[in-house]
Amino acid sequence: MIELDRVGKRYPASQGGEGHDALKSVTLSIDSGEFAVITGHSGAGKSTLLKLIAGIELPTSGTVRVNDQDLAGSRRALPFIRRRIGLIFQDHKLLYDRTVFDNVQLPLDITGFPPREAARRVRAALDKVGLLSRERERPVTLSGGEQQRLCIARAIVHRPSLLLADEPTANLDMEYAQDIVEILRSFHQVGVTVVVSTHDLVSLRAAHPRVIALSHGMLARENAP
């Protein structure tokens, strides 16, 4: 499902200087249906790796293939590749001038879903994350944990085969973090590939994930589930 072949990512220096290698020759593959956790210290390259898999960033060297498609060679196809991916962001990236319902409906609007079927799917996704009763509210009225669950609802409403979550439990207390992990685990159990970048391995231990550890932009170790 996901194949990285000697992937490097170098960010240019903002003012002169040498620039910075976020990833150095990383090679790994994640199979369909896996629950993988990318972990490591701050600046290890976790978020960069996730962005490369989502096609938000393109590698400086090497190739990233998702569902057998080379992302760097399919820039025009990127929107359509992303439609098969569910993205969960650390900062949620919600639209605060729209309701909870409208936020979740957005991916279905993008694919031109019929309104009635879209409404049914939105309510099912909100029900799954326990926010159905809040559908008419604005995201600003939700707590941090609820906003993260809203972000998950938006990521799953179009039934993607791959879920990418960047630090989904960051800034959440233990109880909320467990909720999020349980939701991710439930998707994994129905066959969705889940890739999470985090430094909070404790919360995710219950999901028995495959752990991919990065250090200074390189693959440090891998633990099978």
Partner 1 sequence: MKAWFNQHRRALAVTAGRAARAPFAHLFQVLVIGVAILLPLLLHLAVQNLQRLGGTAQADARIALYLAPEATGKDADGIAARLKAHAQVAGYRFVSREEAIKDLRRIHDIADLVDALPKNPLPDAFIVRARSTDPGEIDALRREAAQWPKVALVQLDSTWAARLDAGLRLARALAAGLAALLAVALLAIAFNTIGLQVANRREEIEVCRLIGATHGFIRRPFLYAGTLQGAAGGLIACALAALCVIWVNRQLPGLAALYGTELVVQPMPLQDVLAVTGFAALLGWLGAWLAVSRHLWRDGPG
Query: What is the contact surface with partner 1 in residues (CB under 8 A)?
Result: 54-56, 58, 75-76, 78-83, 85, 87, 89, 93-95, 106-107, 109-115, 154
Query: What minimum distance in Å lies between the beta carbon of 110 and partner 1?
Result: 5
Tell which residue, 59, 95, 55, has the closest CA to residue 75. Answer: 55
Nearer Cβ to partner 1, position 111 or 223?
111
Q: In angstroms, rounded to a whole number, what is the distance separating the alpha carbons of residues 7 and 163?
A: 21
Closest distance between partner 1 and the C-beta of residue 107, in Å? Answer: 5
- Minimum CB–partner distance for residue 29 and partner 1 (Å): 23
Nearer Cβ to partner 1, position 107 or 168?
107
Q: Note the maximum CA span of the chain.
A: 55
Nearer to partner 1, 156 or 219 (CB): 156
What's the min distance (Å) between Cβ of 58 and partner 1?
Answer: 7
Rounded least distance, CB 109 to partner 1, Å: 5
Containing 195, the helix (H) or strand (E) segment is: strand 193-197
Judging by beta carbons within 10 Å of its beta carbon (0-12, 13-18, 19+), is residue 17 exposed, middle or buried? exposed
What single-letter amino acid sits at 150?
L
Give the C-alpha distances (Å, rounded to integers) separating 81 from 75, 161, 163, 203: 10, 11, 13, 30
Which of 3, 4, 44, 41 is CA-nearest to residue 20? 44
Residue closest to 39 by CA, chosen among 224, 220, 207: 220
Least distance between partner 1 and beta carbon 155 (Å): 8
Nearer to partner 1, 125 or 213 (CB): 125
What is the edge-to-edge ordering of all strands in the sheet holding 85-88? 85-88, 162-166, 193-197, 35-40, 210-215, 218-223
Q: Measure the CA–CA gap between 178 and 139, rounded to whole angstroms.
A: 21
Cβ proximity to partner 1: between 39 and 113 the closer is 113
Residue nearer to partner 1 on the CB measure, 45 or 139: 139
